[in-house]
Amino acid sequence: MKLDTAKILQKRKKQILELWMKNQLVDFSLREDLMSNEELSVQSEELVNVLLQTLSNDNLEDVQSASFEPLYEVLETISRSRAKMGYSPRETGTFVFSLKDALLNVLQQEIKNDPVQLLDESMKVSKLIDSLGIVTFETFIKGREEVILRQTDEIAEISTPVIRVWDGIVAMPIIGTLDSARTQVVMENLLQEIVATSSSIAILDISGVPAVDSLVAQHLLKTVSATRLMGAECIISGIRPEIAQTVVHLGIDLSGIVTKATLASALRHAFSLLQLEVRRPIVKTKAGIDG
């Protein structure tokens, strides 16, 4: 007699769901702080519904079958949302794999007279759930990667502030290694700010850049060229002795650029370009009056 596993499972849906919920609730990885039990049961019911709807005897042996697509979709949504909520991989994995216990349990009750068939069907079911587990992990990791990418963007965004130090002078302290993607952000922010404040002098402070190699130097040169094209002057400051050494050893030509050791001297240079002067107020001292 040919057994219809899909039918059996569909018939016992309610029991499967109950078993699965019970499995999940007793498991030590249950996270009530992240998701309430009601939400969990809604999520579980949704997954079981889709699983049993898409399951048929024809596709049980073919986990790559296109008819499983809706199932994978639901699973991906759940997995992604869990990744964002801060579930650990083990917790997310347990969520899917505890379903296997429930399904096998039901199968065991239904086909208890025929061990060969039971083994056969159990293998198929467990293969299917394994494949679901793999999909879960793939999306879980993808979800995490999205989070990391977003944070990288955020760091890049906040790590390049443009400071207006004087009327017509903007400064930009760069902290961290300059790669091409970051140079792009640095350049865009700086140029945008030059337009917004119509500043004629920009100071790039590289005290926070750990190392300057030929690539970084090229990026700096590009930024300086772009600032010049806009009609502003660019000064590079914060060059540490080690950086001066590497630049010379690498044979990088920075002769076309104004470079200063500190932000203060860059600012002084900027003042002299703008024909500004900083001086102490003249205080008439007693000695001065006497003199």
Which of 184, 207 has the CB closer to other proteins?
A: 184
Amino acid in the structure at residue 150: R
CA distances from 243 to 27, 214, 259 (A): 56, 11, 12
Straight-line distance from the first to the last Cα atom of the chain, in angstroms, rounded to the nearest whole number: 123
Residue (of 61, 142, 135) closest to 93 by Cα position: 135
Burial of 2 (0-12, 13-18, 19+ CB in 10 A): exposed
Q: Does 111 bind other proteins (CB under 8 A)?
A: no
Q: Does 59 bind other proteins (CB under 8 A)?
A: no
Which string of DSSP letters, residue by residue, matches 255-284? TTSEE-SSHHHHHHHHHHHTT---------
Name residues contacting other proteins, limited to 214-233 (CB under 8 A): 222, 225-232
Report in angstroms how near the CB of residue 199 gets to other proteins at its nearest: 8
Report in angstroms how near the CB of residue 215 gets to other proteins at its nearest: 15
DSSP state of 200: S
In this structure, the strands spanning 169-175 and 163-166 are antiparallel
Q: Does 88 bind other proteins (CB under 8 A)?
A: no
Report in angstroms how near the CB of residue 231 gets to other proteins at its nearest: 4
Which of 107, 194 has the CB closer to other proteins?
A: 194
Helix, strand and coil content of the chain, in percent to the nearest 5, comes to: 65, 10, 25
- Output phi, psi for 144, to 5 deg: -65, -40
Report in angstroms how near the CB of residue 99 gets to other proteins at its nearest: 52
Report in angstroms how near the CB of residue 101 gets to other proteins at its nearest: 58
Which of 132, 194 has the CB closer to other proteins?
A: 194
Which of 54, 184 has the CB closer to other proteins?
A: 184
Q: Does 198 bind other proteins (CB under 8 A)?
A: yes
- State the sign of the Cα–Cα–Cα–Cα dihedral 124, 130, 136, 141: negative
- Output phi, psi for 203, to 5 deg: -110, 125
CB 252 within 8 A of CB 214: yes
**Distance (Å, rounded) from C-alpha 193 to C-alpha 97?**
54
Q: Does 192 bind other proteins (CB under 8 A)?
A: yes
Chosen residue from 107, 174, 187, 270 binding other proteins by CB under 8 A:
187
Binding segment for other proteins (CB under 8 A), chosen from 39-47, 112-120, 138-146, 197-205, is 197-205
Read off the tokens for 168: 């017509």
Q: Does 40 bind other proteins (CB under 8 A)?
A: no
Report in angstroms how near the CB of residue 43 gets to other proteins at its nearest: 46
Q: Does 195 bind other proteins (CB under 8 A)?
A: yes
Report in angstroms how near the CB of residue 226 gets to other proteins at its nearest: 4
How many residues bind to other proteins according to rule CB under 8 A? 19
Read off the tokens for 184: 């792009």
Which of 219, 269 has the CB closer to other proteins?
A: 219
Residues at the interface with other proteins (CB under 8 A): 184, 187-188, 191-192, 194-195, 198-200, 222, 225-232
